[in-house]
Structure 1
Amino acid sequence: MKKPSLSPTARRADIIPLKEGLEALVRAYRLGGKLNEVTVVASWERVMGKAVALKTKEVYVSKGKLFVRLTSAPLKHELVMAKTRVLEMLNAEVGTQVVNEVVFL
């Protein structure tokens, strides 16, 4: 007797969606924290805007601190004054508390 054939849209039990597979892989190798740090650095221009990004020389995360090297002293002063707002915006972009402190260099 022949088995009933599955339709092309039917899902087999051993197949999982790609998103779930990638999330499981990130959890298994404990890469979530580093992936979130990379997301913060990559989203700097989108969150802060083009004008700030043009004056930014370097952005990196180390031990929960975001380090930003700027080429403009007045911009640095403005961002230092708005440090908590910058921190909130970046963590909101990622969706979790990744950065605890922002240091402007």
Structure 2
Amino acid sequence: MKRNDAEQIGKLIQQYLRQESLESPLNEQRLLDAWPQVLGPAASYTSNLYIRNQTLYVHLTSAALRQELMMGRELLVRTLNQRVGATVITNIYFSLRKGILSVTFIPSFWSVSFARS
């Protein structure tokens, strides 16, 4: 197969995904898959990621990490969109999981968490 043929097949696949309205959900999944790579070890303190109306919703178990991520929100949005190669999200909403008490020291990634009764 020639390189030109491979490029044409790639364009056909993109066209099909666009036509069947599958491109957006596929890009959303790619962005969610990129989250652990972009965030690194701190991603283990996040859960229940989902995208709605171009906003990424993230639940966190660490208030300190939430503050750090809120300060770097714009950079995170740009980095995640660049990983996907499309503007999938325009905002990130961070929320602290209720009923969880967490003590986290971010530099060493040491954490103690337990649910309140």
Counterpart of 1:30?
A: 21
For these two proteins, the number of residue pairs brought into alignment is 91
The percent identity for this pair of structures is 30
How far 1:20 sits from its partner (Å)? 4.1
Counterpart of 2:79?
A: 89
Matched, 1:54 2:74: no
Q: Secondary structure at the match of 1:67?
A: strand
TM score, norm. by length of structure 2: 0.69
What code does the residue aligned with 2:32 have?
V
Matched, 1:100 2:100: no
What code does the residue aligned with 1:66 have?
L
**Please, which runs of 5 or more residues in structure 2 have no aligned partner?**
96-117
Instruction: Tell me which protein shows more helix as a share of its residues.
Output: 2
**CA RMSD for the aligned pairs?**
1.9
Matched residues in 1 for 2:21 and 2:61: separation? 35
TM score, norm. by length of structure 1: 0.76
Matched residues in 2 for 1:18 and 1:88: separation? 29
What code does the residue aligned with 1:94 have?
V
Matched residues in 1 for 2:85 and 2:8: separation? 22
Instruction: Tell me which protein shows more strand as a share of its residues.
Output: 2
After superposition, where does 1:60-79 map in structure 2 within 5 Å? 60-79=50-69
Q: Secondary structure at the match of 2:48?
A: strand
What code does the residue aligned with 2:63 have?
A
